[in-house]
Structure 1
Amino acid sequence: MRMRMLPANIRVLYFANHGSEPYVQIINVKESKHRQSITSSTEESEPEETDELRPVLRDDSLLLNDHQLETLANHLPARTQGYPWKLVYSTALHGSSLKTLYRNMADLDSPVLLVIKDVHQKVFGAFSSDPFKVSKYCYGTGETFLYTFNPDFKAYRWTEENSYFVRGHSDALQIGGGGTGIGLWLDADLYRGSSSTCATFDNPPLSTQQDFTIQDIEVWTIQNEWRMN
């Protein structure tokens, strides 16, 4: 019997699980590489920016363009890559209230991405390993980082100087601390904010000025498909 050769860009995957019938799936090489990147070791390395990691948004973003989405996706932890993003809070939809922001995340146990646009059209924010909540103590892990697109993208990761990742107060949200300042601070009305150098992330001010006025905020969560509502 003659064997037909498959094109170079095609891969055949054979699946066999206990208790189920084995099956074959044919995919292209690009998809094969993408799957390998998702299931590979979670050891962090500086990711390459490629179209393969462009996130799928379940909702429209008013603050991030396609390039910014791709850039952020490529800098998130490996465990979040390949999964859809779901909008859990937006000032445009839910009004400007830190209390509402906390309430919308009350049932989450997944990481969140905070996106801020100030009145000078600067976009910046934070990735938090834990959803935002009111807490007496700081919470989060070393996956948490600050970022800015002012003027080019830059991520400010954990320096290991302290563990002041996130602390939610009823009247303010604080990300990063220690030294002489707070990395990112938002008030109860999500109208005023500030950003200064902190020991947690060793970041400069994320906007053009230390104190800024907020135009809009979005918070996204990144979850496995089976955990999405």
Structure 2
Amino acid sequence: MIRHIYVFFVEWSPDIYTKGKKKRHESGYENKEKDPNRHLVADKVMSAVNKIFSKPLNIIRKILTVRPPGRRRSLCSSVESEENEQQEYENALPVLSDPSSLLHDHHLQKLAAHMPARTQGYQWNLVYSTAVHGSSLKTLYRNMADLQSPVLLVIKDMHNKVFGAFSSDPFRVSNYFYGTGETFLFSFNPDFQKYTWSGENSYFMSGNWESLHIGGGGGGFGLWLDADLYHGASFSCPTFHNAPLSTHEDFIVQDIEVWTVQN
């Protein structure tokens, strides 16, 4: 190997390591003239090469002990930075089109973090509020007639419990159940609880002019509201395997808000 390196130096720097003109042959180079100092120069080159390769392990150790830690620090810093950015993103509160009388910062933070990815980063627009539009299921349906985006139903009952549902589709009158597995029920009672689709049935939502139903099967709805949006009920149901959302299965509505999240 050392001789190969020597040949490399001689071939690429002939004026330094050899003297005299050379003639190219198929088998390599051949000196026309002999120089008595040629062997002395070669010995110096060989000695330098030997010094380079005399302690190769030390060179390898330096490479292994100096460079990787710096790279690891760089990678760790990058990972930490990404984690911090992700944490800030998750803690960011959504922008609301109107002030909410039901949702405080801790409600918004929890709900935003558990909503589908396709809703992240978009403004929440108030579609319906009992405080603004009065208590009427017909008005609720009418305000959503032109929507094609998911909605968030938030209820506060007379016991000051906050709960509701995220619906993959806007509420409408339908003879059949509609919606997708993105739909879920939630409750702050007092800690946040999310009840996702169990896969047992597809009774996500249905509605008529007399009532609105979310979740079903087994003789009860996960969430039910009457035509005046005054009486409500919440039972455990196979669709979400949820606990009753309020402290009472039958409850009186204090306020309702419906928000849409659309790009």
Percent identity over the alignment is 68
Q: Which residue of 1 is the match for residue 145 of structure 2?
A: 106
Aligned with 1:149 (options 182, 188, 196): 188
Q: Which structure's CA Rg is the greater one?
A: 2
Partner Cα distance (2:219, 2:88) in 1: 34
Equivalent residues of 1:48, 1:74 under 8 A apart: no
Change (3 A) 1:48 1:185: farther
Which runs of at least 4 in structure 1 moved beyond 3 Å after TM superposition? 47-50
CA displacement at 1:205 relative to structure 2: 0.6
User: Could you say which structure has the greater relative contact order, defined with CA pairs below 8 angstroms and 6 or more residues apart?
Assistant: 1
SS for the counterpart of 1:147 is strand
Matched, 1:126 2:131: no
Q: Which residue of 1 is the match for residue 133 of structure 2?
A: 94
Partner Cα distance (1:216, 1:61) in 2: 11
Q: Which residue of 1 is the match for residue 91 of structure 2?
A: 51
Partner Cα distance (2:198, 2:232) in 1: 23
Partner Cα distance (1:103, 1:171) in 2: 14
**Higher helix proportion (structure 1 or 2):** 2
Q: How does 1:75-224 map to 2 (within 5 A)?
A: 75-224=114-263
Equivalent residues of 1:49, 1:70 under 8 A apart: no
Equivalent residues of 1:92, 1:216 under 8 A apart: yes
Partner Cα distance (1:137, 1:200) in 2: 15
CA displacement at 1:180 relative to structure 2: 3.0
Amino acid at match of 2:133: H
Partner Cα distance (1:179, 1:120) in 2: 27
CA displacement at 1:48 relative to structure 2: 10
Change (3 A) 1:48 1:77: farther
Partner Cα distance (1:69, 1:133) in 2: 25
CA displacement at 1:50 relative to structure 2: 3.2
RMSD over aligned CA atoms reads 2.0
TM-score with structure 1 setting the length: 0.77
In structure 2, runs of 5+ residues without a counterpart are 1-73, 75-80
CA displacement at 1:63 relative to structure 2: 0.3
